[in-house]
């Protein structure tokens, strides 16, 4: 990973000099994902927040959505559940007219609730996500919803004390 991290930093420097803020934003987001995968959570947050700052300046909903989505997952994995749910809500703000993004946030929220043993809320949300994916004919999304729904229903039958 060190090679990818160095390349990411070189890309940020190069794109910054050329004034290409969109590429700088994407590079920060990519570095955030790389640092997440190596367990360097503080560095990941730094790069996601840098991307968030750039994307906010230009009101780039696509970038803002994916950064919030990544921050939600990172927060949840850190056990910061309130932050995770807040980031999901903020990601939904940037859905705009992108129905697929709406489905992704619903799916993510359902997964969080499932992990927190809030099975009724999780089931309701995953069914809504499946409806969205069904309208889009998004087979991958529908398959993920089906798998999570099975897990939720199993959890409802055998709740952990």
Residues 102 and 141 in one domain: yes
Residues 27 and 85 in one domain: yes
Q: Look at residues 63, 78, 94 and tell me which one is the last residue of a structural domain.
A: 94
Q: Could you report the per-residue pLDDT of 72-101, keeping only the tens digit for each?
A: 999 999 999 999 999 999 999 999 889 999
**Other CB atoms within 10 Å distance of the CB of residue 135:** 10
Closest CA to 65 of 31, 104, 27: 104
How many domains does the chain divide into?
2
Q: Could you report the per-residue pLDDT of 119-153, keeping only the tens digit for each?
A: 999 999 999 999 999 999 999 999 999 999 999 99
Q: Look at residues 71, 94, 117 and tell me which one is the last residue of a structural domain.
A: 94
Q: Look at residues 47, 71, 94 and tell me which one is the last residue of a structural domain.
A: 94
Tokens representing 75 are 């927060």
Give me the domain span that covers residue 142. 97-161
């Amino acid at each position: 990973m060190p090679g990818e991290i160095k390349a990411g930093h070189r890309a940020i420097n190069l794109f910054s000099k050329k004034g290409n803020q969109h590429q700088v934003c994407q590079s920060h987001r990519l570095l955030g994902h790389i640092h997440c995968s190596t367990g360097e959570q503080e560095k990941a947050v730094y790069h996601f927040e840098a991307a968030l700052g750039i994307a906010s300046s230009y009101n780039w909903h696509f970038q803002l959505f994916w950064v919030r989505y990544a921050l939600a997952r990172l927060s949840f994995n850190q056990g910061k559940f309130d932050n995770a749910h807040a980031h999901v809500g903020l990601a939904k703000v940037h859905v705009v007219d992108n129905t697929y993004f709406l489905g992704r946030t619903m799916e993510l929220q359902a997964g969080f609730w499932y992990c927190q043993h809030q099975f009724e809320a999780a089931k309701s949300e995953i069914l809504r996500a499946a409806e969205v994916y069904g309208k889009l004919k998004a087979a991958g999304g529908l398959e993920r919803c089906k798998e999570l729904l099975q897990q939720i229903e199993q959890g409802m039958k055998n709740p952990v004390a």
